[in-house]
A and B are shown apart, each in its own frame.
Chain A
Amino acid sequence: MTENGIGAAVRRKEDYRFITGAGRFTDDINRPKQLYAQIIRSPLPHAAIKSIDTSAAAAAPGVVAVFTGQDMADDGVGSLPCGWGINSKDGSPMVEPGHAPLVVDRVRHVGDQVAVVLAESRGAARDAAELVDVDYDDLPAVTNVAAAGKDGAPQVWDEAANNICFDWEIGDKDATDQAFSAAEHVVSIDLVNNRLIANAMEPRAAIGDYDTGNDEYTLYTTSQNPHVIRLLMGAYVLGIPEHKLRVIAPDVGGGFGSKIFHYAEEAIVTWASRKVGRPVKWTAERSESFVSDAHGRDHVSHAELALSADGDFLGLRVSTLANLGAYLSTFGPSVPTYLYATLLAGTYKTPAIYAEVKGTFTHTVPVDAYRGAGRPEASYLLERLVDRAARQLGMAPTDLRRRNFIDKESFPYQTPVALEYDIGDYETCLDTALDMIDYPGFAERKKASAADGKLRGIGISTYIEACGIAPSNVAGALGARAGLYEAGTIRVNPTGSVTVLTGSHSHGQGHETTFAQLVTEALGVDIDAIEVVHGDTGKIPFGMGTYGSRSLAVGGMAIMAALEKIKDKSKKIAAHLLEASADDIEFEDGQLTVAGTDRSVAFGDVALTAYVPHNYPLDELEPGLEETAFYDPKNFTFPAGCHICELEIDPETGHIELQRFVAADDFGRVVNPMIVEGQVHGGLTQGIGQALYEQCVYDDDGQLLTGSLLDYNLPKADSVPDFEVATHETLCTHNALGVKGAGEAGAIGSTPAVINAVVDALSELGVDDIALPATPERVWQAIQQASA
């Protein structure tokens, strides 16, 4: 292993600024003469806007301007676009309503944007916002996804009958129906995947800065993908050509998907800055984030598994209602379709699968990707169903899984739901996890808990996910309206240091360190002489950003491709210096050597020569040493693993205490084990949050009850135990690094492991199901009802 190269637990290069308070998050940035924007948001879930009187607000102290949706519409501002089109079963395209950054005539969720006040100070903007007088005509609203589909439910969009955006399917219905008719056992489950809110610790913020002298715009924004924002906002919303629009995503404090999307506030501040000729800054208050950041999950599903007498999975059918919210968020339609149902094979060789998904509008905040984006929903459903099947058939949950695993010799494996898995070894992950938790010893531990009056349970989940999104032509065929490649530039500087420009974006993932590790491994340059630059469209050629655990698999591969070009050119330069053939040059540990000799030249000398080309093949080779590569992945990547949770329940209070949590994950090659472990810890905590603590609740009147951190229960330091994490590497077969991605897996396998453990603990009392989250109240109620 090269020192600080691939596989090393290198301490992060970016940490210094964060531990000393020198980070530059968007709200830390101030532009000269900036104005502060306060957004006026609807307090009602559904209403017609009869009139908006901005006169009192406009006259308030410190106020420079007040704008409404009509002002933006009059200026030709377009709709926030949706980046993924889904077709229904009958081939018709999804219902695609417009999405004005400031609503003109009708608000459709609590928090919907109505107007904006620009003032000299935050206080003045807040005070003036309260003076904006909106006359609403209250309309009936529906927030529950099941209720929204029923006849007579309030309609979110006139053009979407029964609030259906799309009625989509995947798989082979006939083959699946046949499998069911021949099956000895059918196990079914009805479940809800609870609505969640990402709540990254940094609230969203945006600064629009229009330069009148050059007719150019700069947008600072808390985004996971600045180039995507430039494309969507520039092309579809504000009509600004790319060369006149710079988007900068500086330090971003967490995203988890919620900072992928092009939000109204980005367009509002950019547009408003030109209108008033001054920079405009907006920062969300946390309770404002609750009603404006995209929410996650929110599925209601019915699923059935058909099994043979011996427990072979014969067929799976799933019917899901997916809440899209009131508007189509940037990737909203893709999450409950191609990012969800294509994972319903799981780690199993189920031969026939059919799934149908109805994307449904409701009067709630738009729903889109949140850590895992569709894969947690699939794993939760599958692993709950498998556990239920084990119970019903009287088989051990381990045995039922083993029996149905795709064998490690069977790859590449074509699933019945579009995806072809490249490689995996699910049994080793299961065995590793069972060993880590001392599965055979559980019975004794359960007895000890019982002696203490506690119910002990153990729950397993074996998950798989698809990440490293995605091959562009495949994605395009499935409805994506963009490519999903990545770009990387390696700029070797004259004195041998290296600047890496990447289209990936780090908002906690440590790319400034891990991408530098790739470079140090390839070129032998000291890691401290490598700088990774991200987040600025003015500096980086292009990028699709960071989400879907794609940075290493796609962004890292773009860097590897650029490094290959650098190495090729370096060999040619070295060949000239050493008077040899380029084919005979070996590049190792920062030295370029003529094979079989001790004649060599250091990479640093090659770099200097490239920029001071006096002894140089100028007639064959351009000076300089900088290469760019665009990498389009060949396939998704398929991390997989086994999570096991052991917990104790106090039957008197319903309180759950997690005892142990083990994770054995296969992420392919691990570049920085410290960072991977950190990603798993964070993911597990979010998955446990979904299982036990978090829920986003709307009341029957459409009001968001969980509208602040007082009511939305984020896991705290004492909410989770220490985790035990191990990795098993089966190298991805279609990228040279062999990497699969690790950012989301923790949030995918953990939720079902926890709930399977809860059901296990309560099963002796006759409880066979519990809803998400399994709060103490729910657990206690379940116990009461079972004993009644």
Chain B
Amino acid sequence: MSVTVSLTLNGEAVSADVDPRTLLVELLREHFSKTGTHVGCDTSQCGACVIHVDGRSVKSCTMLAVQADGADVVTIEGLAADGDLHPMQAAFREHHGLQCGFCTPGMIMSAVDLVNRNPEPDDQEIRHWLEGNLCRCTGYQNIVRAVKAGAEAMRES
């Protein structure tokens, strides 16, 4: 049995026929080859799968593809505009906010949503917001620095 899912993905109208069990992250990775969004766990803890759905950060492992029918979805691949890095992406590089890079797309997408809602978050607010984004490499400190810098750059642009 399959269901048709139609959505806007990084600004482009797309659709696919899927098994209704398909998770949104599976739709993105396997049907649309957007492999930048990662699967790191099976209990919705890790946040490697965070994307934006209708402007808000969501764990795409915890949504069914069919729930995204008609939605506006943005993944890490859609963040840079016309080849220029999003200020948050640039900040992660500048402040060494990544090591292996596996948690990074989810971390960046989550951070962008934080700053969209709270343009000048302090360290505590950043650490609390990112509780749902696990990183095993960085120890978080440079991620916090990167998010603060990214927030400042987002305010200025």
A and B associate in one complex? yes
List the A side residues contacting B43 at CB < 8 Å: 286-287, 708-710
Q: Are A201 and B40 in contact (CB under 8 A)?
A: yes
Chain A's closest residue to B86 (CB) is A19
Q: A717 contacts which chain B residues (CB < 8 A)? A: 126-128, 130-131, 133, 135, 140, 143-144
B155 in the interface (beta carbon within 8 A): no
User: Which residues of B sit under 8 angstroms from A202, Cβ to Cβ?
Assistant: 38, 40, 100, 102
A200-B136, A684-B139, A708-B43 known; A21+B99 contact, CB < 8 A = no
Once the chains bind, are A253 and B102 in contact (CB under 8 Å)?
Answer: yes
Binds A, one of B29-37, B52-60, B63-71: B29-37
Given the contacts A19-B85, A22-B36, A718-B128, A709 and B136 also touching, CB distance less than 8 Å: no
* Residue in B101, B108, B142 whose beta carbon sits within 8 Å of that of A251 in the complex: B101
Which parts of B101-157 form the interface with A (CB within 8 Å)? 101-105, 108, 123-124, 126-128, 130-131, 133-144
Query: Is the C-beta of A681 less than 8 angstroms from some C-beta in chain B?
Result: yes
Q: State whether the Cβ of B12 lies closer than 8 Å to any Cβ in chain A.
A: no
| Cα(A285)–Cα(B134), bound, Å | 16
CB <8 Å contact, A19 and B98: yes
Q: Which of B36, B85, B128 has the most CB of A within 10 A?
A: B36
Q: Which residues of A contact B89 (CB under 8 A)?
A: 19-20
Partner of A254, one of B75, B102, B126, B133: B102
A682 contacts which chain B residues (CB < 8 A)?
Answer: 99, 136-139
Report the Cα distance A287→B143, complex, angstroms.
Answer: 27
> What is the distance, in angstroms, from A262's C-beta to the closest C-beta of chain B?
21
Contacts of B36 in A (CB 8 A): 20-23
CB of A27 within 8 Å of the partner chain:
yes
Q: Is B19's beta carbon under 8 Å from chain A? A: yes
Q: What is the CA–CA distance of A675 and B138 in the complex, to the nearest angstrom?
A: 10
- Report the bound CA distance from A256 to B139 in whole Å: 13
A486 CA / B115 CA spacing, docked (Å): 45
Q: Return the chain B residue nearest A683 by Cβ.
A: B139
Instruction: Report the bound CA distance from A23 to B100 in whole Å.
Output: 10
Evaluate contact between B127 and A718: CB separation under 8 angstroms. yes
CB closest chain-B residue, reference A678? B96
Query: What secondary structure prevails in chain A residues at the interface with B?
Result: loop
Query: Which of A19, A256, A677, A714: most chain B CB closer than 10 A?
Result: A19
Say whether A509 contacts B21, CB under 8 Å.
no
Closest CB in chain B relative to A39 CB, distance in Å? 15
Known A19-B108, A21-B34, A678-B99; judge A508-B45 contact (CB<8 A).
no
Residues of B within 8 A of A199 (CB): 136
A42 within 8 A of B: no
Is residue B42 within 8 Å, beta carbon to beta carbon, of the partner chain?
yes
Q: Is B24 an interface residue (CB 8 A)?
A: no
Chain B nearest CB, measured from A670 CB (Å): 14
Within 8 A of B (CB), among A697-720: 708-710, 714-718, 720
B92/A286 in contact, CB under 8 A: no
B83 to chain A, nearest CB (A): 10
User: Is A628 an interface position by the 8 A CB rule?
Assistant: no
| Closest residue on chain B to residue A28 by CB atoms | B35
Judge if A723 is at the interface, Cβ distance under 8 Å: yes
Q: What's the least CB distance linking B57 to chain A, in Å?
A: 15
Whether A252 sits at the interface, judged by CB under 8 Å, is: yes
Report B125 CB to chain A, min CB distance, Å: 10
Interface residues on B, range: 35 or more
CB A153 to nearest CB in B, in angstroms, measures 33
How many angstroms between the C-alpha atoms of A746 and B137 in the bound complex? 12
Tell me if A19 and B104 are in contact (CB < 8 A): yes
Q: In angstroms, how far is the closest chain B Cβ from the Cβ of A29?
A: 9
Q: Which residues of B contact A509 (CB under 8 A)?
A: 99
The interface size of chain A toward B, counting residues with CB under 8 Å, comes to 59
User: Could you tell me the distance in whole angstroms from the C-beta of A666 to the nearest C-beta in chain B?
Assistant: 20
A-chain residues with CB within 8 Å of residue B85 when the two chains form the complex: 19-20
> A717-B133, A718-B131, A720-B139 are known contacts. Are A287 and B42 too (CB-CB below 8 A)?
yes
Of the listed residues A21, A286, A674, the one surrounded by the most CB atoms of chain B closer than 10 A to its CB is A21
Interface residues of A in 13-64 (CB under 8 A from B): 14-25, 27-28
| Distance from B129 Cβ to chain A, minimum over Cβ atoms (Å) | 8
Q: Known contacts A20-B85, A201-B134, A718-B131; decide if A508 and B142 are in contact (CB<8 Å).
A: no
**Please, how many angstroms separate the alpha-carbon atoms of A11 and B45 in the complex?**
30
Docked Cα-Cα span, A708 to B41, in Å, equals 8
Complex contacts, B48 vs chain A, CB 8 Å: 201
Q: Give the complex CA separation of A677 and B140 in angstroms.
A: 12
Interface residues of B, dominant DSSP:
loop
Q: Check A507 for interface membership: any CB of B closer than 8 A.
A: yes
Is B73 part of the binding interface, using a Cβ–Cβ cutoff of 8 Å?
A: no
CB of B99 within 8 A of CB of A510, answer yes
Does A686 make an interface contact (CB < 8 A)? yes
Residue of B nearest to A371 (CB): B136
A686, A710, A717 pick with most chain B CB within 10 angstroms: A717
Give the distance in Å from the alpha carbon of A21 to the alpha carbon of B102 in the complex. 9
* A709 vs B43: C-alpha distance when bound (angstroms): 7
Chain B residues positioned under 8 Å from A722 (CB to CB): 123, 141, 144
A-chain residues with CB within 8 Å of residue B80 when the two chains form the complex: 20
Please, how many angstroms separate the alpha-carbon atoms of A304 and B127 in the complex?
A: 42
A251–B139 alpha-carbon span in the complex (Å): 20
Q: Which A175-231 residues have C-beta < 8 A from chain B? A: 198-203
Q: At the interface, yes or no: A12 with Cβ under 8 Å from chain B?
A: yes
Question: Which of A285, A510, A686 contacts B136 (CB under 8 A)?
Answer: A686
A453 contacts partner chain B, Cβ-Cβ < 8 Å: no
- Does A25 contact B38, Cβ atoms closer than 8 Å? yes
B26 to chain A, nearest CB (A): 8
Q: Tell me if A123 counts as interface (CB < 8 A to partner B).
A: yes
CA distance A6 to B138 in the complex (A): 22
Residue of A nearest to B145 (CB): A722
CB distance from A266 to the nearest CB of B (A): 19
Distance (whole angstroms) from the CB of A545 to the closest CB of chain B: 15
Q: B17 interface residue, CB < 8 Å from A?
A: no
Residues of A within 8 A of B9 (CB): none
Query: Smallest distance from the beta carbon of A706 to chain B beta carbons, Å?
Result: 12
Chain A residues with Cβ below 8 Å from B105 are 18-19, 21
In the complex, are the beta carbons of B141 and A252 less than 8 A apart? Answer: no
Give the residues in chain B near A16, CB-CB below 8 Å.
93
Question: Which residues of chain B are within 8 angstroms of A123 by Cβ–Cβ distance?
Answer: 19, 21
Which residue from chain A places its CB closest to the CB of B126 in the assembled complex?
A717
Q: How far is the CA of A123 from the CA of B23 in the complex (A)?
A: 11
**Bound-complex Cα distance A483 to B93 (A):** 36
Q: Does B76 contact A (CB under 8 A)?
A: yes
Q: Chain B residues with Cβ under 8 A from A510's Cβ?
A: 99
Determine how close the nearest CB of chain A comes to the CB of B152; give it in whole angstroms: 17
A415, B131: Cα distance in complex, Å: 44
In the complex, B39 has a CB within 8 A of chain A: yes
Contacts of B75 in A (CB 8 A): 21
Return the chain A residue nearest B93 by Cβ: A15
Give the docked Cα–Cα distance between A16 and B77 (Å). Answer: 12
Residues of A within 8 A of B (CB): 11-12, 14-25, 27-28, 123, 198-203, 251-254, 256, 283, 285-287, 507-510, 674-675, 677-678, 680-686, 708-710, 714-718, 720, 722-723, 746
Q: A253-B102, A678-B96 are in contact. List 6 more A-B contacts (CB 8 A).
A: A23-B36, A28-B35, A685-B138, A686-B136, A709-B41, A716-B131
Task: Name 29 A/B residue pairs within 8 A (Cβ), A-sorted.
Answer: A12-B93, A18-B105, A20-B76, A25-B102, A27-B35, A28-B35, A199-B136, A200-B136, A201-B134, A201-B136, A253-B40, A253-B100, A254-B136, A286-B42, A508-B101, A510-B99, A677-B142, A678-B137, A678-B142, A681-B141, A682-B136, A683-B139, A686-B136, A709-B134, A710-B43, A717-B135, A717-B143, A722-B123, A723-B141
Chain B contacts to A: CB under 8 angstroms = 19, 21, 29, 34-43, 45-46, 48, 75-77, 79-80, 85, 89, 92-94, 96, 98-105, 108, 123-124, 126-128, 130-131, 133-144
Q: Which 7 A-B pairs have the closest CB atoms?
A: A21-B36, A253-B102, A18-B101, A681-B139, A508-B100, A508-B99, A21-B76
